[in-house]
């Protein structure tokens, strides 16, 4: 696996979202928005079905509702709240359909399995989309599907969230792994020491 970077510039994140909306690419806008706001692995993102966002009456959940995903890699339950950005992206995509099958994948591809059931987009397709929009807004760093998860962690850290919380949210075994994963370099840590000046 190649090493990829988080998207550090909030203006570039916003520009990517705006381009996706301008292209009326609401599926990929939701994938991007959900990824950078939840910290889910791409395998978990691509396996999401509509029922995750629907209440028992088949209506979209409100912002602030709890979402629970079983992580494919670890088998652990990951719980997070549906924030306003995710809710808005879900709604924009959901409104394109007359109705949705609650058991259908959200991020559908044109491909079907041997039984004719529609499958989610592949990791490769997700990678292509991310790279296309990243390059369109001038991002030069290596971008991949892990970029979404890394961007989530990086911006939590930049907002002052303790690394131990981020470590728990990303399900890492140590704070050192989390810092390395989200792209916090020794140079950045050195700047903190220089700026402290008590």
73 is catalytic: yes
Look up residue 162 and give its two tokens: 């303790």
What is the C-alpha separation between 69 and 124, in angstroms, rounded?
22
Active site residue: 73, 76, 77, 79, which one?
73
Residue 29 annotated among the catalytic residues of the structure: no
Q: Is 155 a catalytic residue?
A: no
The one catalytic residue in 17, 29, 150, 172 is 172
How far is 33 from 37, CA to CA, in rounded Å?
Answer: 6
Answer yes or no: are the C-beta atoms of 182 and 150 closer than 8 Å.
yes
The catalytically annotated residue of 17, 27, 29, 41 is 41
- Given the residues 17, 87, 149, 155, select the one marked as catalytic: 149
Q: What is the dihedral of CA 37, 10, 143, 20, to 10 degrees?
A: 80
The two structure tokens encoding residue 122: 């592949």
Active site residue 172: yes
**Is 128 one of the annotated active-site residues of the chain?**
no
* Active-site hit among 27, 29, 87, 146: 146
Catalytic positions: 41, 73, 146, 149, 172, 181
């Amino acid at each position: 696996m190649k090493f990829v970077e988080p998207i550090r510039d909030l203006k570039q994140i916003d520009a990517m979202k705006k381009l996706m909306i301008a292209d009326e690419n609401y599926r990929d806008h939701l994938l991007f928005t959900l990824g950078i706001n939840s910290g889910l692995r791409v395998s978990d993102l691509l396996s999401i079905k509509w029922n995750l966002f629907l209440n028992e009456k088949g209506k979209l959940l409100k912002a602030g509702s709890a979402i629970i995903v079983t992580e494919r890699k670890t088998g652990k339950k990951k719980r997070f709240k549906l924030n306003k950005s995710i809710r808005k992206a879900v709604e924009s995509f959901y409104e394109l359909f007359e109705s949705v099958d609650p058991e259908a994948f959200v991020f559908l591809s044109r491909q079907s399995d041997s039984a004719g059931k529609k499958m989610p987009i592949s990791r490769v397709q997700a990678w292509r989309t991310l790279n296309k929009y990243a390059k369109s807004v001038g991002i030069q760093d290596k971008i991949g599907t892990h970029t979404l998860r890394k961007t989530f962690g990086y911006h939590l850290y930049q907002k002052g969230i303790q690394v131990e919380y981020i470590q728990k949210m990303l399900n890492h075994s140590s704070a050192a792994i989390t810092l390395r994963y989200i792209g916090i370099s020794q140079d950045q840590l050195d700047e903190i020491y220089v700026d402290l000046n008590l």
